[in-house]
């Protein structure tokens, strides 16, 4: 279907883009377009104008932070995340997740910023960024910037903590220490395909014991869901098979699973526990072996 009549602008800077968004309340940013173009065709949202941010060099940088982490511009495309040596070296999980998104064509256009701003329950990056404890840097008026922890950024389905006129500028990721590990496991229809249940895990080991953990489930509710009870059950444990199995049996939080032709809600929740367990073992395997 044809979209409603629409206006378009391609500003030359982030400051111009946020100014246009402020002065045109019906305007929305256009990044890779791999979601919003379909929204326009379906006439599913009232969009009067698109502000094309996809060519803004300020948003397209992959930078090393002094602490050994990464700052990833919102406009960096999946294909670029997947192939950047710096991302591979510092946080290979980010490159792997980008490389497993949808298909070649979507990877050639879709952006990190678009992925997290859409925040569909099945979106690949939101649970990972919550597990990694990422910081979302937001551009406001002029040179104004503010930061929001990923855990607070994802508000609900298709909603995030942006105020009108704001843009996601970049995603800041802390480095992974040798005693830390990350796991990301998805039940999906096929490789690179639609997800039915997803778990993302970050943890830190101190000697024999798990000292800190973030366990996040995706696809099962309005936003990536931190699992406080699973995390609490892991702490102090050695990460053995029996203790991890017991931990993932803890009561789940923030879950409101819906079923479809692929899987019932009950099946998704059951599988989420299985994939959480696998993600925990994946993360543990990356931590330094206890002395």
Burial 154-164 (b: 16+ CB within 10 A, else e): beeebebbbee
**Candidate residues 14, 28, 210, 247; the one interacting with ligand FAD per rule CB under 6 A:** 28
CB closer to another protein out of 20 and 172: 20
Contact flag: residue 8 with another protein (CB under 8 A): yes
Contact flag: residue 46 with another protein (CB under 8 A): no
**Candidate residues 79, 82, 118, 171; the one interacting with ligand FAD per rule CB under 6 A:** 118
Contact flag: residue 16 with another protein (CB under 8 A): yes
CB closer to ligand FAD out of 118 and 215: 118
Contact flag: residue 117 with ligand FAD (CB under 6 A): yes
Q: Which 3 state secondary structure label does DSSP give 116?
A: helix
Helix%, strand%, coil% for the chain, nearest 5: 35, 25, 40
> Phi/psi class of residue 147: alpha, beta or left (left: φ > 0; alpha: ψ in -120 to 50)?
beta
Contact in structure between 2 and 41 (CB atoms under 8 Å): yes
Q: Least distance from C-beta 57 to ligand FAD, angstroms?
A: 14
Of 7-15, 174-182, 199-207, 230-238: span binding another protein (CB under 8 A) = 7-15
Contact flag: residue 43 with another protein (CB under 8 A): no
Q: Least distance from C-beta 51 to ligand FAD, angstroms?
A: 8
The number of C-alpha atoms within 13 Å of 260 and in the hemisphere containing its C-beta is: 8
Contact flag: residue 79 with another protein (CB under 8 A): yes
Centre a 10 Å sphere on the Cβ of residue 191 and count the other Cβ atoms it contains: 6
Look up tokens 């101190």; give the residue.
206
Contact flag: residue 102 with ligand FAD (CB under 6 A): yes
């Amino acid at each position: 279907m044809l979209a409603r009549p629409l206006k378009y602008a391609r500003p030359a800077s982030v400051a111009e883009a946020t100014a246009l968004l402020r002065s045109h309340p019906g305007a929305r940013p256009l990044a890779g377009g791999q979601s919003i173009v379909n929204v326009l065709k379906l006439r599913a949202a009232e969009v009067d104008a698109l502000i094309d941010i996809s060519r803004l060099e300020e948003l397209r940088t992959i930078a090393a932070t002094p602490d050994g982490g990464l700052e990833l511009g919102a406009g960096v495309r999946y294909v670029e995340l997947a192939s950047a040596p710096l991302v591979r070296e510092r946080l290979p999980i980010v490159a792997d997740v980008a490389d497993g998104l949808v298909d070649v064509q979507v990877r050639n256009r879709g952006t990190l910023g678009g992925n997290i701003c859409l925040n569909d329950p099945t979106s690949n990056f939101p649970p990972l960024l919550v597990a990694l404890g990422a910081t979302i840097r937001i551009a406001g008026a002029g040179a104004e910037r503010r930061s929001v922890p990923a855990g607070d950024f994802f508000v609900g389905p298709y909603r995030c903590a942006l105020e009108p006129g704001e843009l996601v500028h970049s995603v800041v990721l802390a480095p992974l220490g040798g005693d830390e590990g990350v796991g990301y496991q998805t039940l999906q229809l096929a490789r690179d395909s639609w997800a039915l249940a997803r778990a993302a895990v970050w943890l830190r080991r101190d000697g024999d014991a798990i000292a800190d953990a973030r366990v996040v489930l995706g696809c099962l509710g309005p936003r990536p869901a931190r699992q406080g009870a699973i995390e609490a059950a892991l702490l102090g444990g050695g990460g053995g098979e029996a203790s991890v199995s017991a931990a993932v049996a803890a009561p789940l939080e923030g879950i409101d699973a819906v079923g479809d032709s692929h899987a019932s809600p009950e099946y998704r929740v059951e599988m989420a526990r299985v994939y959480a367990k696998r993600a925990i073992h994946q993360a543990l395997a990356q931590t330094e072996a206890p002395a």
